[in-house]
Amino acid sequence: MIQNVWVIPALPLAAFLINGLFGRRWLHRWTGIIASAAVGLSALLAIGVFFEVQGGGHESTTVTLYEWIGVGDFHVSVAALVDPLSSVMLLVVTVVSFLIFVYSNAYMEHDHGFYRFFTWLSLFVFAMLILVMADNYLLMFVGWEGVGLCSYLLIGFWFERPEPYVAAKKAFVMNRIGDWGYTIGMITTFLVFGSMQFTEVFEHVDIATEANLTLICLAFFLGATGKSAQLPLHSWLPDAMEGPTPVSALIHAATMVTAGVYLVARSMPLFEAAGPSLAVVGAVGAVTAIFAATIALVQFDIKRVMAYSTVSQLGYMFLALGVGAPVAAIFHLATHAFFKALLFLGSGSVIHGLGGEQDMRKMGGLRRKLPVTYWTMLLAGGALAALPPLAGFWSKDEIVAAAFLGGYPVLWAIGILTAVLTAFYVTRAMWLTFHGEPRDHHLYDHAHESPAVMTLPLIALAVGTAVLGIAIGFPPEAGFIHRFLGPVFEHEGAAEHAVEAATIITLAAVSVAAGVLGILVGLSMYVRHRPDPAAVSRAAGPFYRLLVNKYFVDELYDRRIVDALRAAFGAMWAFDIHIIDGLANRLGWLAAVGGSGLRRAQTGIVGNYALTIVAGLLVILVAYGGYAAGIFTR
């Protein structure tokens, strides 16, 4: 099965081509079915590959399709690296995509761009699969760009209204800044190692100097922050909520944003060798986590809350990578993909039910109206808040524990604090939407449960979030996933710190306590209004306004960077006009003047021409005379 692993991306590509070419005039509704079928099949194949890799002793095989570029000693081939890491990613991407495709068949039903939605979605899945399967940085970059493009297209899907395409542009530009970093990293790897293939690069890690390695890793990390919306380049993700909810679920929760994490995970050997870079990753991750969590506290748009929560969870993953626990990061990535997708789809079905209303202040008491959505979202909320039996607990707890054991107490503290905040805003969101009295009766009356096509994927994801945690990660540090992913990361003597069970349990207890504390505080504020939320926000005053305005990050960017660039571009424009154009015009003028000068010589009289010939003769004779008389040769 591994040998024809290329069929997995081929199917969504075929779906894209068919939908794209024939969608508008003939297929209409059929495009949804074709796309979902294609992704479903690749999901089955991915499962097959996953079991084959798991069964076959976890070693990595490279399947080369053809040699793409062969210039001098720069050889890049279109090849797939199938090893435990990439098979897990394949599995996650294809399964989640399949469920979201089925969901969006119903969600986008009344949208006139139905065929266009599914065309871009299948192209996105194709690009993501290429990114995941690539065995060298260049092919990965192709996928990287592909997903960037599709996210732009899908965010700006409803381009009639101005906000979506502005958000799309913003997302694309930010990603491009990140891609710039990635490119530098890619080029330096080639210059240093002479090749782009992961296997070759990781074998010769020792030949690179410390400085080169740090440059490569930081450049790649810049790319990762751009793509996974980490602190400096995070503001595009909340605005990306302008796109349809399935898009947010698929791209901005489960797959694309995890690309950054996958990149860092894949290049762990480089990061480990480049000492300080891991610390940087961890720090950025932690800061982003706490930063995003605080903003999420005050958001009223249900999708914005989820967006900030994604940013903070991604922060967690980078924190895990930073502290040297890549397995935990990938584990959290997998679980997060499931419950975050579920949360988004749930909020999508709420919005669908309320006819497009996203503001939580107008919701309330929907528990009775949308029971299935309520229960599935409750489960996902619990997972996000890391309540014990659910998936979120196992993966987040591992990260926090790894941070503590890895000797980073500060990061551990931040982790625990973020966990409290996360629990709080989850309960706040759940409460505002489902419990209490309905604040907008008109909306409340029209609210209706989503059709089966939407609720079934919700239920499937709910099962996933409940079961997944225990299934693959139960005995912490020794779960199925550790044994599976372990060999990919552990090679020469990673410190196998022997940890007694006692410390693990205490750590787990502490993180559970943090989660429960968050929920209790949330309930007391919203249920019994002991400190009434409105009063708290008034008391917080300036601090509250800061959070609401998202720390004024967008304004900062706009005023500082964009204006500065605008000034620089103005200068360049002036330079271009006066100097370069000036130069060209001057040359033109020179030719004209020269021409008119010479034109005078063309008198038209034959006599003058004869005279010039004779003059030439005179010059020659004089020269000859001079030469003969020895004037020239002293």
Binding site for another protein (CB under 8 A): 598-608, 610-611, 614-615, 617-618, 621, 625
* Least distance to another protein, CB of residue 633, Å: 20
Using the CB atoms, write b or e for 15-50: b if 16+ within 10 Å.
bbebbbeebeeebeeebbebbbebbbbbbebbeebb
d(CA 423, CA 515): 6
Shortest gap between Cβ of 591 and another protein (angstroms)?
15
* Closest CB 566 distance from another protein, rounded Å: 51
Strand partners, 61: 82
Residue 593 C-beta: closest distance to another protein, Å: 15
The Cα 66–Cα 57 span in angstroms is: 27
Length of the chain as a residue count: 634
Closest to another protein by CB, 57 vs 604, is: 604
Which residue has 């919203």 as its token pair? 526
Shortest reach from residue 609's CB to another protein, in Å = 10
Containing 347, the helix (H) or strand (E) segment is helix 326-353
Q: Give the nearer residue to another protein in terms of CB position, either 536 or 631.
A: 631
DSSP characters over 156-190: TTSTTSHHHHHHHHHHHHHHHHHHHHHHHHHHHHH
Q: In whole angstroms, give the CA distance from residue 255 to residue 247.
A: 10
Q: Point out which residues pair with 74 in neighbouring strands.
A: 71
Beta-strand relationship, 74-82 and 61-71? antiparallel
Question: Looking at beta carbons only, is 552 or 624 nearer to another protein?
Answer: 624
Q: Which of 478, 620 has the CB closer to another protein?
A: 620
Backbone angles phi, psi at 42, to 5 degrees: -65, -30
Q: Which is nearer to another protein, 575 or 624 (CB)?
A: 624
Q: Please report how close the Cβ of residue 627 comes to another protein at its closest, in angstroms.
A: 13
CB nearer to another protein: give 474 or 627. 627
- Could you tell me which of 478, 483, 529 has the C-alpha nearest to residue 504? 478
DSSP H helical segments within 84-113, as ranges? 84-107
Residue 7 or 611: which CB sits closer to another protein?
Answer: 611
The sign of the torsion formed by the CA atoms of 580, 583, 589, 591 equals negative
Specify which residues 80 forms β-bridges with.
63, 134
Q: Which residue's CB is nearer to another protein, number 211 or number 598? A: 598
Q: What's the min distance (Å) between Cβ of 590 and another protein?
A: 18
CB of 605 to another protein, least distance (A): 6
Q: Which residue has the tokens 């009639």?
A: 160
- Least Å distance between CB 628 and another protein? 10
- Min. distance of Cβ 614 from another protein in angstroms? 5
Nearer to another protein, 211 or 614 (CB): 614
Smaller CB separation from another protein, 584 or 617: 617
**Residues 261, 265, 267: CA angle, nearest 5 degrees:** 120
Q: Which is nearer to another protein, 69 or 619 (CB)?
A: 619
Amino acid in position 335: T
For residue 18, which of 7, 3, 28 has the smallest C-alpha distance?
A: 28
The first and second tokens of residue 236, run together, are 């595009």
Q: Which residue's CB is nearer to another protein, number 276 or number 594?
A: 594
Residue in the structure block whose two tokens are 């890793």: 217
| DSSP assigned state of 60 | -
Q: Are 231 and 284 in contact (CB under 8 A)?
A: yes
Which one-letter amino acid corresponds to residue 480? F
Q: What is the amino acid identity at position 235?
A: S
Min dist CB 622 to another protein, Å, is: 8
CB of 606 to another protein, least distance (A): 5
